[in-house]
Amino acid sequence: MQTGMHTDTERCARAVRSKDARFDGWFFTAVLTTRIYCRPSCPVVPPKPENMTFLPSAAACQQAGFRACKRCRPDTSPGSPEWNQRADLTARAMRLIADGVVDREGVPGLAARLGYSTRQVERQLLAELGAGPLALARAQRAQTARLLIETTPLPMAEVAFAAGFSSIRAFNDTVREVYALSPSELRARAPKRPLTGTTPGALSLRLPFRTPLNPDNLFGHLAATAVPGVEEWRDGAYRRTLRLPYGHGIVALTPGSDHIACRLTLSDLRDLTVAISRCRRLLDLDADPAAIDDQLRADALLAPLVDKAPGRRVPRTVDEAEFAVRAVLGQQVSTAAARTHAARLVAAHGDTVDDPGGGLTHLFPAAAALAAVDPETLAMPRTRRTTFTTLVSHLADGSLNLGVECDRAETRARLLALPGFGPWTADVIAMRALGDPDAFLPTDLGIRRAAGELGLPSTPAALTARAAAWRPWRAYAVQYLWATDSHPINFLPV
**Closest alpha carbon to 36 in 5, 61, 11:** 61
Q: Residues 67, 36: contact at Cβ < 8 Å? A: yes
Rounded to whole angstroms, the Cα distance separating 144 from 270 reads 10
CA distances from 463 to 162, 301, 449, 451, 455 (A): 49, 13, 12, 8, 11
**Closest alpha carbon to 203 in 269, 257, 143:** 269
DSSP one-letter code for 338: H
**Closest alpha carbon to 149 in 182, 115, 120:** 182
CA angle (178, 182, 188) in 5-degree steps? 120
Q: Quick count: other Cβ atoms within 10 Å of Cβ 25?
A: 25
**Closest alpha carbon to 250 in 356, 349, 369:** 356
Instruction: Give the helix ranges, DSSP H, for 180-265.
Output: 183-189, 215-224
Q: Quick count: other Cβ atoms within 10 Å of Cβ 117?
A: 12
Rounded to whole angstroms, the Cα distance separating 39 from 36 reads 10
Rounded to whole angstroms, the Cα distance separating 97 from 107 reads 10
**Closest alpha carbon to 330 in 441, 425, 234:** 425
Instruction: Give residue 360's identity as a one-letter amino acid code.
Output: L
Strands (E), 116-236: 202-208, 231-234
What length does the chain have? 494
Strands (E), 56-201: 67-68
Rounded to whole angstroms, the Cα distance separating 24 from 43 reads 12
Active site residues: 38, 444
Instruction: Give residue 486's identity as a one-letter amino acid code.
Output: S
The values of phi and psi at residue 426, to 5°, are -65, -40
Rounded to whole angstroms, the Cα distance separating 410 from 379 reads 31
**Closest alpha carbon to 86 in 327, 288, 361, 384:** 288
271 CB-side CA count, 13 A: 21
Helix (H, G, I), strand (E, B) or coil at 168: helix
**Closest alpha carbon to 434 in 80, 86, 140, 104:** 86
**Closest alpha carbon to 316 in 326, 307, 306, 308:** 326
